[in-house]
Structure 1
Amino acid sequence: MLGSSVVIKNKKGLAPRYAFWDVDFDSGVISLNSSGGGIAIGATPIAAESYAKLALRQDAIHFDFFLHPGYLMVDVNPPLCLDVKDRRIADGTPTWLYPYNGSPAQQWNLIPLRNLNAFE
């Protein structure tokens, strides 16, 4: 699991334990809910066009959720954003860090877990 790519998945047939993420607004870490916070989104290096991978929490990317609301920003110079590669919403499409440009491929809708109908 560690080192696996963070990809877009069709929710049909996907076990919720692989679909739900915890967003820690204090630390900026996004972790896989089923890992109890131990596995999070990382990238090596933190640079443009680095693919998002599952990493231990201590190696996670620290996102800034408030720099540009609706975007998962990494506060480096130039600012990077979690982006869906090639703007493809298709099963298995990888995510990566890309310079912030405000495109739809960089916009994320964070939905509370208590709103489970979002997965239906």
Structure 2
Amino acid sequence: MSERIIRWQANTRLGLGVNDQIVGAAVGIWPLSGLGARLVWNIDMSNNAILLDAGGETLALDFKDGKIASEVPLVLSEYKGTPTKSQQWSIILRPGYITSVADTSLVVDDKSRGVGPGNPAWAYVFNGSIAQQWRPMDPFQAAQELTDDA
């Protein structure tokens, strides 16, 4: 596993994160700098899971209620060591995108291309738009790039 910030390519000052580290917390777009959001994910390439450590508990990026479909919000769900179908995501199947392994027509998408803190992330049919483009990167590299851009 590797710790990564998942930067949104439409606005490289924003990334995929959560405001609260609990089961059911909504996944959305958050500023990469400042306080208030949890933005460092563990990407488990061998299990196709995107995980978040939450005080001794591991949570996974998931479809709300495990419903694998377009326009379903993404949330954190309990991770029991092996991902469920709805918790499996690939960052290599379609480079530059986060693709559902259970339904490869679906990718992680920033709903309505919103840029406000907490704007929801949801699953949406792949269309190649900038709202669907992500770059997993080392947290220190992301911090350096933010400093360089300032």
Query: Shorter-chain TM-score: what band?
Result: 0.7 to 0.9
Structure 2 unaligned blocks of 5 or more? 1-21
SS in 2 for 1:49: coil
In the TM superposition, what is the alpha-carbon distance from 1:114 to its structure 2 partner?
4.8
Could you tell me the TM-score, scaled by structure 1's length? Answer: 0.83
Contact 1:31-1:37 within 8 A present in 2 as well: no
**Structure 2 residue 83 is matched with structure 1 residue 57:** no
Question: Offset of 1:113 from its aligned partner?
Answer: 3.4
Q: Which runs of 5+ in 1 are unaligned?
A: none
Is 1:94 the counterpart of 2:116? The answer is no
Residue 78 to residue 41, structure 1, CA distance change in 2 (3 Å):
closer
**In the alignment, which residue of structure 1 is the partner of 2:69?**
47
Query: What is the percentage of aligned positions where both structures have the same residue?
Result: 29
- The CA distance in 2 between the partners of 1:111 and 1:35, in whole Å, is 23
15 and 63 in structure 1: CA distance in 2 versus 1, 3 angstrom threshold:
same
1:7 partner SS: strand
Q: From the superposition, tell whether residues 23 and 119 of structure 1 become closer, same or farther in structure 2 (CA, over 3 Å).
A: farther
| Paired residue secondary structure (2:31) | coil
Matches within 5 A, 1:66-77: 66-77=92-103
Query: What does residue range 10-21 of structure 1 map to in structure 2 within 5 Å?
Result: 10-14=31-35, 18-21=38-41
| AA of the residue aligned to 2:91 | F
After superposition, the C-alpha distances for 1:47-80 in whole angstroms (9 at most, x for unaligned) are 1111000111244621122221010001345610
Aligned to 1:7: 28
Judging changes above 3 Å, is the alpha-carbon distance between structure 1 residues 11 and 114 closer, same or farther for their aligned structure 2 residues? closer
Shift of 1:34: 4.6
- 2 CA distance for matches of 1:37 and 1:22? 13
Give the Cα separation in 2 of the matches to 1:55 and 1:90.
23
Change (3 A) 1:118 1:6: farther
Q: 1:103 to 1:49 in 2, by over 3 A?
A: same
